[in-house]
């Protein structure tokens, strides 16, 4: 077993927490130099000295994307702008964009973070790494570029688009690893087969890093099979630098989140309290290895849970489960938090069911009820008693998952509005507000 930074990656919990506390204290001292955190600390009667233990982190209010927007462009900067060397900015299609600032040290540490992830999945300086991300402002471009160069791989900065050219690079340069979004990985494989190129036979590809798009275990398996590779899930977001925040190890069972870079919390997005260990909630991150723009208790809106127990790979940094959606998608019904992805997961288990479904929340008498309509697949019978048995089994499994009993209605293929481009509308909330 080999590590990029063995001492840090396999550090005991106690020592890791000492490191976190040391870095947290430094981070807080820096953060209060920014106009934003200066005000937050003053308003809440806090000073850097208020943070003496890791638990003291809880004293600090959450930071949200909206805080970044309202303090655009430089209100979160903790060091003079002249000491920053890079800006990454979101597109800002609605309202002000969000901006993240980096010092030269920040970029250096980020490159190390990405190199550590790549090394973890077996990549070495002998690999040829092709990055199909957009470059420029999108952090998947420069983030992986710097990380892969740090690793010493031969980088092919292909950037996004032009599938034929991507394939020419893969075959001509002997590309062994791609960074690619999952839907494009499938597309790329399809085009290769159409061109008579079998990626398993005709290329040197052995690894792909997939991210930036939610995807299922089935999709990963399909990508692995089509391309003849191992596919590793990666998590990043521009507010936390970009790629490299958390990454799967060869076990492919959860993403190690680098706890020397961030302190992760998982909270109930309604009560804002920590969820019990192992339960799903919103990921909250505090940067502890960044100087230009520290973020304290940043609400990522991304939903996941900690995977309990030790990882056989020997790394001690905690693992996040596959992300299940965004907290903005959460439905609260009878005091229970429900995410559409939980329902989808159950429905997808039944081969008798198609992939189109609709969740309707409505007020019936004095009660709020959930109705789940789901299309049958092509294959299924119209035998009434078989349908009834199926509906019962689906309901039972949903009840186990959601802890409440939805009404389930099986409908014929094509009965529900078909998803057209972009995001399908899966939830209709028709509750009466009293």
Q: CA–CA distance from 167 to each of 76, 178, 205, 229 (Å)?
A: 42, 11, 11, 15
Pick between residue 92 and residue 314 the one whose CB is nearest to its own copies. 92
Q: Interface with its own copies includes 91 (CB under 8 A)?
A: yes
For its own copies, the closer CB: 169 or 232: 169
Q: Is residue 87 near its own copies by the rule CB under 8 A?
A: yes
Closest separation between CB of residue 57 and its own copies, Å?
30
Which range, of 80-88, 231-239, 296-304, 318-326, touches its own copies by CB under 8 A?
80-88
Q: Which is nearer to its own copies, 178 or 303 (CB)?
A: 178
- Confirm or reject binding of residue 287 to its own copies (CB under 8 A): no
Distance between CA 148 and CA 153 in Å, rounded?
Answer: 6
Query: Which listed range, 132-140, 240-248, 259-267, 419-427, lies at the site for its own copies (CB under 8 A)?
Result: 132-140
Can you tell me which of 35, 72, 393, 415 binds its own copies, judged by CB under 8 A? 72
On whether the CB atoms of residues 169 and 188 are closer than 8 A, the answer is no
Least Å from the CB of residue 204 to its own copies:
12
Phi, psi of 208, deg, nearest 5: -130, 145
Number of residues that bind its own copies (CB under 8 A): 41
Q: Is 197 in the site for its own copies (CB under 8 A)?
A: no
158/77 Cα distance (integer angstroms): 32
- Least gap, CB of 90 to its own copies (angstroms): 11
Side-chain-facing half-sphere of 314: CA atoms under 13 Å = 11
Based on CB atoms, which residue is closest to its own copies, 24 or 117? 117
Please report the beta strands in 66-200, taking only residues with DSSP state E, as ranges in sequence order: 84-89, 99-103, 128-131, 154-156, 177-180
DSSP letters spanning 222-245: HHHHHHTSEEEEEE--GGG-STTS
Under DSSP, is residue 217 helix (H, G, I), strand (E, B) or coil? helix
Q: Does 195 bind its own copies (CB under 8 A)?
A: no
Task: Examine residue 312 and tell whether it contacts its own copies (CB under 8 A).
Answer: no
Measured between alpha carbons, how far is residue 105 from residues 36, 110, 119, 227, 291 in Å? 22, 9, 21, 37, 8
Task: Return all residues near 288 (Cβ < 8 A) that are at least 6 apart.
Answer: 20, 23, 24, 26, 27, 260, 261, 262, 263, 294
Name which of 4 and 72 has its Cβ closer to its own copies.
Answer: 72
Position 122 contacts its own copies (CB under 8 A)? no
How far is Cα 387 from Cα 393, in angstroms, rounded to an integer?
10
Residue 94, interface with its own copies (CB under 8 A)? Answer: no
Is position 149 an interface residue for its own copies (rule: CB under 8 A)?
yes
Q: Is 141 in the site for its own copies (CB under 8 A)?
A: yes
Question: Which range binds its own copies by CB under 8 A, 5-13, 109-117, 169-177, 278-286?
Answer: 169-177
Percent helix, strand, coil in the chain, to 5, is: 35, 25, 40
Among 8, 28, 120, 156, the residue binding its own copies under the rule CB under 8 A is 156
Choosing from 38, 86, 204, 206, the residue that interacts with its own copies (CB under 8 A) is 86
Q: How far is the CB of 172 from its own copies (least distance, A)?
A: 5
3-state secondary structure of 46: coil
Task: Yes or no: say if 259 and 16 are a contact pair by the CB < 8 Å rule.
Answer: yes
Q: Pick the stretch among 159-167, 210-218, 222-230, 383-391 that binds its own copies (CB under 8 A).
A: 159-167
Beta carbon nearer to its own copies, 101 or 296: 101
- Residue 137 binds its own copies, judged by CB under 8 A: yes
Tally helices (H) and strands (E) across the chain: 12, 21
Rounded distance, CA 377 to CA 354, Å?
4
Find the radius of gyration of the CA atoms of the chain. 23
The whole-angstrom distance between residue 78's C-alpha and the CA centroid of its chain comes to 26
Name which of 165 and 409 has its Cβ closer to its own copies: 165
* Residue from 104, 272, 386, 425 binding its own copies (CB under 8 A): 104
Q: Which residues bind its own copies (CB under 8 A)?
A: 72-73, 81-89, 91-92, 101, 104, 107, 125-126, 134-137, 141-142, 145, 148-149, 152-160, 165, 168-169, 172-173
């Amino acid at each position: 077993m080999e590590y990029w930074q063995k001492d840090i990656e396999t550090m005991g919990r106690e020592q890791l927490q000492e490191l976190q506390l040391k870095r947290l204290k430094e981070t807080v001292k820096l953060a209060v130099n920014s106009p934003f955190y200066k005000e937050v600390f003053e308003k809440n009667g806090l000073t850097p000295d208020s943070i003496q233990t890791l638990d003291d982190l809880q004293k600090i209010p959450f930071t949200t994307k909206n805080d970044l927007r309202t303090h655009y462009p430089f209100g979160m900067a903790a060091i003079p702008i002249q000491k920053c060397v890079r800006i990454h900015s979101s597109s800002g299609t609605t309202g002000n964009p969000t901006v993240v600032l980096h010092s030269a040290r920040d970029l250096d540490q980020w490159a190390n973070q990405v190199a550590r992830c790549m090394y973890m999945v077996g990549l070495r300086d002998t690999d040829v790494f092709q990055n199909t991300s957009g470059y420029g402002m999108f952090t998947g471009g420069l983030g992986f570029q710097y990380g892969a160069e740090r690793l010493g791989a031969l980088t092919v900065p292909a950037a996004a688009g032009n599938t034929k050219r991507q394939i020419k690079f893969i075959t001509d340069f002997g590309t062994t690893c791609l960074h690619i979004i999952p839907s494009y990985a499938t597309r790329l494989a399809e085009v290769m087969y159409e061109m008579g190129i079998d990626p398993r036979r005709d290329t040197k590809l052995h690894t792909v890093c997939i991210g930036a798009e939610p995807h299922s275990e089935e999709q990963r398996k399909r990508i692995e099979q089509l391309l003849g590779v191992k596919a590793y899930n990666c998590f990043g977001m521009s507010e936390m630098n970009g790629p490299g925040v958390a990454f799967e190890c060869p076990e492919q069972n959860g993403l190690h989140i680098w706890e020397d870079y961030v302190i992760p919390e998982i909270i109930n997005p309604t009560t804002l309290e920590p969820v019990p260990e192992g339960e799903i909630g919103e990921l909250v991150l505090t940067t502890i290895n960044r100087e230009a723009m520290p973020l304290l208790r940043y609400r990522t809106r991304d939903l996941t849970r900690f995977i309990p127990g030790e990882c056989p790979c020997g790394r001690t940094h905690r693992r996040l489960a596959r992300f299940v959606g965004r907290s903005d998608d959460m439905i609260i019904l009878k005091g229970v938090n429900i995410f559409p992805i939980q329902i989808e997961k159950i429905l997808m288990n039944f081969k008798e069911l198609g992939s189109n479904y609709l969740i309707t929340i409505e007020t019936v008498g004095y009660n709020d009820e959930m109705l789940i309509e789901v299309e049958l697949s092509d294959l299924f019978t119209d035998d009434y008693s078989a349908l009834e048995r199926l509906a019962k089994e689906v309901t039972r499994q949903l009840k186990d998952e959601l802890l409440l009993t939805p009404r389930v209605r099986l409908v014929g293929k094509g009965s529900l509005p078909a998803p057209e481009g972009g995001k399908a509308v899966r939830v209709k909330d028709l509750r009466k507000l009293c």
